[in-house]
Amino acid sequence: MGRSRRTIPEELLLLALDPATGTTAQPQSLDLGLAGAQLVELALAGRIAPDGDRIAVVLPRPTGDPTLDSALELLRRRGSPVRAVHWIGGPRLGLRQTYLTHLERCGMVHAVAGQMCGVLPTTRYQATDTAISREIRARLDNAIRTGVPPDPRTAALAALAHAVGLGKHLYPGNEGRSSRSRLRDLIRHDPMGGLVAHAVMDVQNGVAAQPRRAPVAGPAPGAGGRQPAARATDGTPGGVPVQPRRGSMARVGAR
């Protein structure tokens, strides 16, 4: 993968950076979004493909991007397709900092040291070339304003931006409500982006999102016993209780 093109994780992080404060918006959900953005980027590179609600490695050859290749190798080691919600919900310690350091090394941001309460050291990251951030934002604005179906990269970026709650950061207040709604609707233009965005929101909402299994045979109601509740399992002992999904993407309100 040539480095002349910015990856979707990089663009998502640049969108989240506040130009005034140097902090990232929605930091907790952003970590989930970055893990999801890696999946989308690997899919666009032809390394993985969706298999229902799972992710399968179809070409384990490295992309040339160390961070993406690390994720690809972890997926390959699983040996079988992994559910997107489980991958995104797994531990991703330091992923945001890894990308911030990478952006600094590429000259897109620079670190600004500071202190919290005059004691605790802090680091903020300011964009060094705001034209890049403006170009990324302009792509989203253009897709929202014109209604023209965006390219897959922009559609996936929009889906992830909505999923992690950046809509209220990019289009704040009552005047931004229609833009936030249209940002959400762009998800339909990229199936992989939609799959990943659903998984990001499911993890945030604590929804197991497991497919239901057929009820286990047992005593019929009124015959001295209860019908056992259907449960789902991901292959781990004990399984995970099925929780109701909180609604499809089409019903999720603008953030």
What are the pLDDT digits (tens) for 26-80? 888 999 999 999 999 999 999 999 999 999 999 999 999 999 999 999 999 998 9
Give yes or no for residue 221 having a pLDDT over 50: no
Q: What is the pLDDT of residues 113-162, one digit of tens each?
A: 776 666 777 788 888 877 888 899 999 999 999 888 899 999 999 999 99
Give yes or no for residue 109 having a pLDDT over 90: no
* pLDDT computed for residue 228 by the predictor: 42
Query: Helices in 45-122 by DSSP H: which ranges?
Result: 66-78, 84-89, 95-105
* pLDDT computed for residue 210 by the predictor: 52
Task: State the Cα–Cα distance between residues 13 and 25, nearest whole angstrom.
Answer: 9
Residue in the structure block whose two tokens are 């990232």 = 24
Enumerate the β-bridge partners of residue 55. 50, 82
How many Cβ atoms sit within 10 Å of the Cβ of residue 56? 14
Size of the chain in residues: 255
* pLDDT computed for residue 115 by the predictor: 63
Region 213-225 average pLDDT: 43
Residues of the chain by 3-state class (helix, strand, coil), percent to 5? 50, 15, 40
Q: Say if residues 96 and 30 touch (Cβ distance below 8 Å).
A: yes
pTM reported for the whole predicted model: 0.76
* pLDDT computed for residue 28 by the predictor: 82
Higher-pLDDT residue of 242 and 206 is 206
Provide the token pair at 208.
């197991």
Is residue 207 very low, low, confident or very high in pLDDT (cuts 50, 70, 90)? Answer: confident
Q: What mean pLDDT value characterizes the chain?
A: 80
* pLDDT computed for residue 123 by the predictor: 81
Higher-pLDDT residue of 212 and 190 is 190
Region 216-241 average pLDDT: 41
Higher-pLDDT residue of 243 and 10 is 10
Give yes or no for residue 20 having a pLDDT over 50: yes
